[in-house]
Amino acid sequence: MKSRLVGIAVFAVSPLAQAASDEALNTAWLVLASVLVFFMQAGFALLESGMSRAKNAVNVMMKNYMDGCVGGITFWLFGFGLMFGSNITGWFGMSHFAPHDGEPWDFTFLLFQMMFAATAATIASGAMAERTRYSAYLIGAVVISGFIYPVFGSWVWSGIYGGQGWLAALGFIDFAGSTVVHSIGAWCALAGILVLGPRLGRFAADGTPRSIPGHNLSLVALGGFILWVGWFGFNAGSSLEMNVSLGLIALNTHLAASAGALGAFLAQRSTSSPVLLTTTVNGSLGGLVGITAGCATMSPLFALLTGLVAGGVVVFGMRLLERWQLDDVVGAVPVHGFAGVWGTVAAGLFFSGDLFNWSRVGVQLLGAGVAFIWAFPLALMLYLLLAKTLGLRTSTQHEQRGLDYAEHAEVGYPEFNLAVTFDSNDLPRRV
């Protein structure tokens, strides 16, 4: 009996048992992080719906819901292989398409990265809200999650199954995706709003912007909180393992988000503008986007500074889009694009132990620029093609009635908008 117990004890402390235990812990952590990132879809849905008018609430929710569905399947079929497959050339992966056979860790890693693909696709949803045809939007989401996002991602993050992306070989830093995920999604969104044009009445004949307020600011705040929570999984999960750096990553994430809201506040007050809830939430999201690249390689002080600047970038970026008469319903381009560029540069500027290395900053600027050169033209061609064939923008009548009814034959708030938008007897039928 004693010998059996000794044998069990020896096995328990053996390197093999320790390795199995570590893999189990890492798997549990990454699955939890995947759940947190997936929960961000709920945050996006609430925030985007709240910033839209009541007559489009269901449509916005539907797009976010389906981003996770079609985006996830497409990424499994094509995107994962393009992004993480054997990348001998440095440009794209050539293995692991539709993976169904592998080690347990392979499937855990696939699950986590699938959530990132859905996030990249859904960024365009809010910017293009209230005037985009549902079917055309979904086609765009498929192309983004299955091709545009993973190909660029392979330049930065590939190497898991052999080879290395060319940007990674140069030393480009993007720990959790300020550029890979957020800027790529934002440049696709920018292309979308350029092709679509602004919502009816968004700008006067002389170009003066008109406010079109969202219908529920409580949903906006709740969505912001959920995204904040999910971001801990987004950033800390990108470590891919349980280690002592998780605390620093999570702390930097929180500090940057808090400072982003403060930066947005200061930017609004500096121009004697009212301090808006929507802008404040966007400021904190800008801080989160900004810190995503350098959350593992910055000290807390510089994480706070990164978030503070990102909040201001978001505010002035939103005003810049208005000046250009670009209608971004939720501010996706400033939040994910402009703040993403700043965060990518900041990761080079504030690299712990080697501050202000201008060679590294140059590589960061190159990566941010290449992201735009890759994503924006492709997305522009995609949306132009959809506009000429299937049709990207809804008709004027459908936009006035609301996409809930026009695209889905249902409404989110029937008690107060049935009488003014359509005959309730027509509800079961599409127009």
pLDDT tens per residue, range 304-338: 999 999 999 999 999 999 999 999 999 999 999 99
pLDDT of residue 13: 52
Task: For 132, list phi and psi in degrees, rounded to 5.
Answer: -110, 135
H/E run at residue 102: none
- Name every residue whose Cβ is closer than 8 Å to that of residue 327 and which is 6 or more positions away in sequence: 193, 196, 197, 198, 199, 202, 203, 321
Whole-number Å distance between alpha carbons of 406 and 214: 19
Residues 333/31/240/223 CA torsion (nearest 10 deg): 20
Model pLDDT, residue 415: 75
Q: For residue 338, give the nearest of 346, 327, 349, 348 by alpha carbon.
A: 346
Coil, strand or helix: which one is 163? strand
Please identify every stretch of the chain with a pLDDT value under 70, giving residue numbers as ranges.
1-13, 15-17, 19-20, 416-431
Tell me the domains of the chain and their CATH numbers.
Answer: 22-393 (1.10.3430.10)
With a CB cutoff of 8 Å and minimum separation 6, the contacts of 18 are none
Task: Answer whether 190's CB lies under 8 Å from 372's CB.
Answer: no
Look up the pTM and report it: 0.91
Residue 202: CB atoms within 10 Å: 18
pLDDT of 367 reads 97
Calpha distance 247→241 (Å, rounded): 13
Scanning the structure block, which residue is given the tokens 């293009």?
128
CB-based contact 206:397 (threshold 8 Å): no
Q: Based on the number of CB atoms within 10 Å of its own CB, is 398 exposed (0-12), middle (13-18) or buried (19 or more)?
A: middle
What are the Cα distances from residue 245, in Å, to 144, 252, 427?
32, 11, 54
Q: Using DSSP, state whether 305 is helix, strand or coil.
A: helix
SS3 assignment, position 87: strand
Specify the 3-state DSSP secondary structure of 132.
strand
Residue type, 357: N
Vertex 375, ends 372 and 381: CA angle to 5°? Answer: 125
pLDDT at 8: 47
What sign does the CA torsion over 189, 324, 288, 134 have?
negative
* Residue reference for tokens 């959350």: 295
CB 1 within 8 A of CB 83: no
SS3 for 393? strand
- What is the enclosing helix (H) or strand (E) of 29? helix 15-51
Q: What is the pLDDT of residue 416?
A: 65
Nearest to 278 by CA among 119, 50, 45: 50
